[in-house]
Amino acid sequence: MKLLLFLLALPLAAQTVTEALAFLEKAEKELLTASNYAQRASWLQATYINEDSETQAALANEKYIKTVLALSRQATRFDKLTLPSEATRKMRLIKLNLTMATPANDAESSELTKLTARMESTYGSGKYCRDAAADKGKCLDLVQISNIMAASRDPKELADVWQGWHRLGEPMRKDYSRFVELANKGARELGFKDSGAMWRSKYDLPPDEFAKEVDRLWAQIRPLYLSLHAYARTKLREKYGADVVPASGPIPAHLLGNMWGQSWENIYDILAPPNSTKAYDLSKILKDKKIDELEMVRYGERFFSSLGFAPLPKTFWQRSLFVKPGDREVVCHASAWDVDNDEDLRIKMCIQISEEEFAVIHHELGHNYYQRAYNKKPFLFRDSANDGFHEAVGDTIALSITPEYLVQIGLLDKATDPSGDIGLLMKQALAKIAFLPFGLMIDQWRWKVFSGEITPAQYNQKWWELRRKYQGIDAPDRGEEAFDPFGKYHVAANVPYTRYFLAHILQFQFHRELAKTAGCKTPLHRCSIYNSKEAGTKLNNMLEMGLSKPWPDALQAISGKREMDATAVLDYFAPLKKWLDEQNKGKTLGW
């Protein structure tokens, strides 16, 4: 007995570097297997929405999360070792591999994964059923509602469908509150203050320092947004009248052509500069030329091919979802997939033949080409330098969808006159600049929810306070019986959103440097890198790094700088900013 007590009192044998490296090798194999299983189940859940696919996705996701959490806890055994830099980075990445950490308790873990599957499916199958007397009880899905938001100029109809869609969230508040509680418990078990702090820890900076970095970038951009907002408010007031749009307050959310007010390009007809000479409507051109959904995607593939990238694999065309099926519910929100972490690349979207979707396709293919570029790296490095990089790559390509490019690919006979560039820049700003405060505020809200600063009783109130603060938009009569955040896919599906804000900064930083490499002599907004193998090589050099180095290293590889810099955005839109300031003379900026 004395001998047993003596042995139990001895310290555990010290871990060795050899054991740490063996652990990492084993961990990456286990993570690859679990990830592939979860990806396949998630694909089925998103493309065949029913109770069985939800259950399978929840089980697969739970298994993956449990694998990551078990490995994360095992990795702490090696915390005191001095390891090679690559191994040290892998140990850290194991602990940051999730956007949601489930609690160690099996019942709570299962509850959380079922909650997330149910929330995403509720969003994916959501509909607004109009009053039977008004419209024969017709039910509208998000695609149909979005088409109304884009095309209608009747403020009453716009308010009706806007409010109708946002009713989707009302019964989900309790589920979301429980989700936050369980996700925070899992994050704390891994040593993080909460889930928001866990998300912010992924950016090679302390969480609070990263939050300050985001604020710095927004401060660079805010003056341009204020100019665009003031101009838009004036034009909407002229269109809808003083009783609908105020002279100096927030803009009504339902008038901006998009369910979330994150993109204003659908109301370009209202905001177009006087005497704008934009001589083409790409949506109309695509329809007139009878370009179908697959050919839309092939345009995107050919762009990447022109830069020197290999064609997409045959399985991409066989397994992707391009068109909404008529026989089942699917999650139409566009996304790119690397199902086997190797060559099984796919996109999932219900393609509409439009200018907006033409750009979205380039964006999603950017994910796919990034995924393939780093697929020979060790599993833990098969990701982008940070999640903003992944989002930025395709949008960088989309910035090259210029009139000159459209001429090169046969969609335009001749490029538009540069005298009409204010219109062209306005169109871009309504997509890019209008998005920035929305891209920022969603996670500002969630970080505060996760930290407890925003309580469940304040979910909707604080959501709209932040939307007013950052976007300068508002919606009347939104009480706490509503749960408007759930009307956005990324909240329902627990997808971090700051990545999109960062991407809208990085894409211009990337574009400015690639334009130099391509030898562009035109203004930045007119430059297309199409057919530049030199630009393609520089881009690929960054893509191939994956997550193997801190993001400043990857940024330096493509831009020559180690700091994210919004001045490229200001360079791109400089002519528009000057024009907006002239239009806004005597008008109120801000709200």
> Which positions are catalytic?
364, 490
- Distance from C-alpha of 165 to C-alpha of 177, rounded to nearest angstrom: 20
What sign has the CA pseudo-torsion 213, 484, 119, 45?
A: negative
DSSP 96-157: T--SS---SSHHHHHHHHHHHHHHHHHHHT-EEE--HHHHTT-EEEHHHHHHHHHH---HHH
Q: Which residues lie across from 67 on neighbouring strands?
A: none
Cβ-Cβ contacts under 8 Å for 101 (sequence gap 6 or more) = 65, 69, 183, 186, 187, 189, 190, 192, 195, 198
Q: Which residues lie across from 474 on neighbouring strands?
A: 252
Residue 588 DSSP symbol: P
- Distance from C-alpha of 575 to C-alpha of 342, rounded to nearest angstrom: 43
A 10 A CB-CB count for 474 gives 18
Report the run of H or E that residue 40 belongs to, with start and end: helix 17-47
- Yes or no: say if 34 and 92 are a contact pair by the CB < 8 Å rule: no
Cβ-Cβ contacts under 8 Å for 403 (sequence gap 6 or more) = 280, 412, 415, 416, 424, 526
- Yes or no: say if 520 and 527 are a contact pair by the CB < 8 Å rule: yes
- Yes or no: say if 86 and 126 are a contact pair by the CB < 8 Å rule: no
- Yes or no: say if 369 and 304 are a contact pair by the CB < 8 Å rule: yes
Q: Find tokens 């947004």 and name the residue.
A: 225
Report which residue type is found at 69: L
Report the run of H or E that residue 251 belongs to, with start and end: strand 251-252
What sign has the CA pseudo-torsion 533, 538, 544, 546?
A: negative
Q: Which residues lie across from 482 on neighbouring strands?
A: none
Q: Is 202 exposed, middle or buried (0-12, 13-18, 19+ CB in 10 A)?
A: buried
Dmax (CA) for the chain in angstroms is 95
Q: Which residues lie across from 348 on neighbouring strands?
A: 321, 335
- Distance from C-alpha of 71 to C-alpha of 288, rounded to nearest angstrom: 55
- Distance from C-alpha of 287 to C-alpha of 329, rounded to nearest angstrom: 26
Spacing of C-alpha 416 from chain mean position: 31
Strands 251-252 and 473-474: parallel
- For residue 62, give both structure tokens: 């739970």
Residue 42 backbone phi and psi in degrees, to 5: -65, -35
